[in-house]
Structure 1
Amino acid sequence: MRVHKVTFAVLAVAAGLSLTACQNGDADAGQSAPSSTSTVLPGSNASSTGGSSGTQSPDQSVAKPSAATGSGGSSSGGTGTGTGTGTSANAKVGKCTTDELEFTAKDNTIDGDPDGTVVVELTNGGGRDCTISGYAGVDLKTNAGTVSAKRTGQATTSTVLKNGKSIDFPINYPLNKSGGSGVRITGLVVTPPDETKSVTLTWPGAASLPVTDGPGASVKVGPVGSAGQGG
């Protein structure tokens, strides 16, 4: 009877050890599973030891919005469709109109020069950028009629005139050195390039033109962006 009790006890201990070993094996298997499914969220700087998932994938960087290029994709912060809008918007800047420009005329004659110079400044006050190029139309009102300025023939360039910025052009005219009253100037009429609407300004230069106007002594206008002594 005693032999049977000892044998039963040995069998019970062996069974217990076998059960414990099985339980430990299952626990180890359960602990290793999370490392293979680790996920790094977009924008996260966290690192992971679970294989290649520790680095951000290309999809994670694409998902970041980019207002500068409009390539935000499906991200809620994106503003474009992948083609961008900044470059095309700049390429479609409209021309400067008369109603958007502020006009200022000032005397810019240098002592000793044979001709007088008036500079007309155009300031963009339209609340947007605009393009301007070419020659403005210039007419001097006088007591003897209208005198239209002739172009100097200088090359022209197209300029994007930022909102609030200015550009100018020169008007050269013969000085009245005859000692007489000459032709009295009563006003300055300016029409911006590619526009038909004009503005009338107070003439800031010499009061009169000579009565006779020989070759090379006519009123001349330079292109926008060439302020100073004209050609």
Structure 2
Amino acid sequence: MKYTRITALAAIGVAALSLTACGNEGSVKDSSSKGSSSSSSSSSDGGSKSEGGSGSGGSEADNTKSGSAGDTESRAGAANGATETTGKVAFCKTEDLAIDAADAAPDENSGRIDITMINRGSTTCSATGFAGVDIKDADNTSNPIERGQAQPRITTLKPGDAAVFNLAYDIDSSGDSLASPTNILVTPPNETHTVTLEWPAGAGEIKGAYTDVEVYPTHTTE
């Protein structure tokens, strides 16, 4: 009888131990599960922060790019706006210029013809550069004039403003000049239309040939 009771108690003890172990194992699993869940959650949070960081950085990069594009468009718009409002000054048209030639020799040896162009148009224009010049001789031949060694200056003309350029040459005082100029053919800078002016009365005789005459760039009269 005692033996049977001991056996029964032993069996009950084993069962209890078994239940306790199962309970502990469940606790361990639950704890592990919670830890894993917590770790996963923590990892997820860290990941989302990291993604959020890179996402934020990516977003800033996108914003920077879109900002740059916006800035570019803005600058382009501003540039277009500037072009529309102020714009590049168009070159003066021959038809808008009153052009005249006059003798302006500084002395007996140096010949100079001043050619003045007045803006008779309604808008500001540019006369910057070299005018095209030919001198017409009494024999009806036209001779192109070479450019002098000078750098063009910005020459902007408001309505009513004047620009001038010069023809320079040496005066022949011998009376044996072979040049007999009658007209000056002027094509304003960056234009294709030409005007014909009379050679100024009283201008000194040209020494040498027409190839010895030089034209200089325009400049304002101020």
Q: Same fold (TM over 0.5)?
A: yes
CA separation in 2, counterparts of 1:206 and 1:177?
12
Between structure 1 and structure 2, the one with the greater Rg is 2
Q: Which residue of 2 aligns with 1:93?
A: 89
Structure 2: how far apart are the matches of 1:128 and 1:226?
17
Q: What's the counterpart of residue 159 of structure 1?
A: 155
Q: In structure 2, what residue type is equivalent to 1:225?
A: H
1:130 aligns with 2:111: no
Once the two structures are superposed, the pairs formed by residues 22-171 of structure 1 within 5 Å of their partners are 88-112=84-108, 114-144=109-139, 145-171=141-167
Partners of 1:151 and 1:83 in 2: how far apart?
35
Q: Counterpart of 2:180 in 1: which secondary structure?
A: strand
SS in structure 1 at match of 2:85? helix
1:199 paired with 2:195, answer: yes
- Relative distance call for 1:163 and 1:85 in structure 2 (3 A) is farther
Identity %: 32
Q: What is the number of equivalent residue pairs in this alignment?
A: 143
For structure 1, the residue ranges without an aligned partner over 5 or more in a row are 1-81
Q: Greater helix percent: which structure?
A: 2
- The one-letter amino acid of 2:110's match is D
Which runs of 5 or more structure 2 residues have no equivalent in the other structure?
Answer: 1-77
- Structure 2 counterpart of 1:219: 213
Q: Show the counterpart of 1:209.
A: 206
Could you tell me how far 1:96 is from its partner in structure 2?
Answer: 0.6
- Whether the 8 Å contact between 1:184 and 1:207 is mirrored in structure 2 is no
The TM-score normalised by the length of structure 1 is: 0.54
More divergent stretch after superposition (121-130 vs 174-183): 174-183
- What's the RMSD between the two structures over aligned residues? 2.9
Q: TM-score, normalised by structure 2?
A: 0.56
Task: Read off the aligned partner of 1:134 and give its amino acid letter.
Answer: G
Q: Is the 8 A contact 2:94 2:191 kept in 1?
A: yes
Q: Does 1:183 align with 2:179?
A: yes
With a CA cutoff of 8 Å and minimum separation of 6, indicate the structure with the bigger relative contact order.
2
Q: Which whole-Å deviations, capped at 9, do the CAs of 1:116-158 have from their partners, x for residues lacking one?
A: 0010011000111112211001111112422221111211123
SS at structure 2 position matched to 1:209? coil
